[in-house]
Amino acid sequence: MSRTARDVVFVDGVRTPFGKSGKGLYAETRADDLIVRVIRELMRRNPGLPPERVDEVAIAATTQIGDQGLTLGRTAAILAGLPKSVPGYSIDRMCAGALTAATTAGAGISFGAYDVVIAGGVEHMGRHPMGEGVDPNPRIISEKLVDPSALVMGNTAENLHDRFPTITKERADAYSVRSQEKVAKAYADGKIQPDLVETLVRSAEKGFGLATQDEPPRPGTTMESLASLKTPFRAHGNVTPGNAAGLNDGATGTLLMAEEVAEELGLDARMRLVDFSFTGVEPEVMGVGPVPATEKLFARQGISIDDVGLIEINEAFAVQVLAFLEHFGIADDDARVNPWGGAIAVGHPLASSGGRLMMQLARQFAERPDVRYGITTMCVGLGMGGTILWENTNYEGGK
């Protein structure tokens, strides 16, 4: 008996439009219905994939209670109409849930245990606010295992401003304005819409409707409008609702398989999973997590940031992105970074966001055959970072 590692490829990805939590698009929509919509759309878009060929469904959620609980990967697979023979499970790595679903299930493909998997995430922060129902062990604070600020993500962002004094509020606001501008342009150019699946929404007051585009973007955002916003996490601080991602609802799903299986089924392999890395950092500066995660991956692969032509980094907070860029000597407006904008504009439904990073990178690869490598990376609550290195299957040479 022998095991041979196989190449894992990203075939497709879809997501619901992201909504604002509270009274937003999905205020009266269940979280599990969002991920079911995504799974059904993945299958509809890939008719060459027999449903019984799906070997696993891995779905992430940060708050795994209520309609985000009950082993969501399994229940969503059943609700989506996949054969009862298709198993599923849940994942929790907070913001990096969908990234972890992809790496965990993808590792199973490489090992030979699976041929085809669906990996994704959902977060309904309106129905389940971050931290709902948790009971942190008192030792965490009493024994000073972490600074108390580590349990509030906005406070960790303020801590990161302290750690990187060159990242001013003005610089964070300028980055955020560009994110809004890039998302607006990407929508105008039709870049984002192909990844969206129209999603039924209901309201007791307004009746039924369709969510067709992201709700959070604020086109027309200016430096002047951001300058007047309050700093809720610290008096006279740097973090505002304008230079951070909001509280959002949404679901993402990706279709991964062995490269030879994609070829067998006649499906396009859009990018190849090369390697991935997760690492821990001090919880009170969790936003710096992408830096050591990426450095660890680069060291193993013998490459540098100069070898990476596209970077999709989650914009939980502007300061977190800017800390990454500053570490690697990348300009704040480098064209490689989030070409279509990011979570500050489009939203960050926690465990689902990694799926959006992957599908946008795959579409950018298709437009850039001159780019060989790209990364998806994000910071993670309680002090972690995660990075995946991808290879463009459309690469034709060049830098």
Predicted confidence band at 141 (pLDDT cuts at 50, 70, 90)? confident
Written as one letter, the residue type at 143 is E
pLDDT score recorded for residue 2: 63
Predicted confidence band at 1 (pLDDT cuts at 50, 70, 90)? low
8 Å CB contact between 208 and 202:
yes
Q: DSSP 3-state assignment of 67?
A: helix
3-state helix, strand, coil in the chain (%, to 5): 40, 20, 40
pLDDT score recorded for residue 341: 98
In the chain the domains, ranked by start, together with CATH numbers, are: 146-192+236-243+274-390 (3.40.47.10)
Distances (CA, A) of 137 to 96, 141, 146, 235, 327: 23, 8, 12, 29, 34
Q: DSSP 3-state assignment of 373?
A: strand
Predicted confidence (pLDDT) per residue in 205-225, tens digit = 889 999 999 999 999 999 999
8 Å CB contact between 151 and 136:
yes
- The pTM of this model reads 0.96
Question: Buried (b) or exposed (e) across 367-399, using 16+ Cβ within 10 A?
Answer: ebeebbbbbbbbbbbbbbbbbbbbbbbbbeeee
Q: DSSP 3-state assignment of 228?
A: coil
Distances (CA, A) of 67 to 73, 123, 179, 332: 12, 10, 32, 39
Q: Closest Cα partner for 192 from 370, 374, 13, 19? A: 13
Any long-range contacts for 78-83 (C-beta under 8 Å, 24+ apart)? 79/32, 79/33, 79/36, 80/36, 80/39, 80/40, 80/43, 81/40, 81/51, 82/39, 82/43, 82/51, 82/54, 82/57, 83/51, 83/52, 83/54
8 Å CB contact between 10 and 256:
yes
Q: What ranges make up the beta strands (E) of 165-247? A: 199-203, 207-211
pLDDT score recorded for residue 3: 66
pLDDT score recorded for residue 399: 47
8 Å CB contact between 177 and 222:
yes
8 Å CB contact between 39 and 76:
yes
Average pLDDT over residues 162-170: 97
Q: DSSP 3-state assignment of 116?
A: strand
Spatial distance between the Cα atoms of 110 and 196, rounded to a whole number of angstroms = 28
Predicted confidence band at 398 (pLDDT cuts at 50, 70, 90)? low
277: its two tokens? 């890395």
Predicted confidence (pLDDT) per residue in 340-378, tens digit = 999 999 999 999 999 999 999 999 999 999 999 999 999
302: its two tokens? 């013998």
Predicted confidence (pLDDT) per residue in 255-303, tens digit = 999 999 999 999 999 999 999 999 999 999 999 999 999 999 999 999 9
Written as one letter, the residue type at 292 is P
Catalytic residue numbers read 95, 348, 379
8 Å CB contact between 15 and 197:
yes
Burial of 235 (0-12, 13-18, 19+ CB in 10 A): exposed
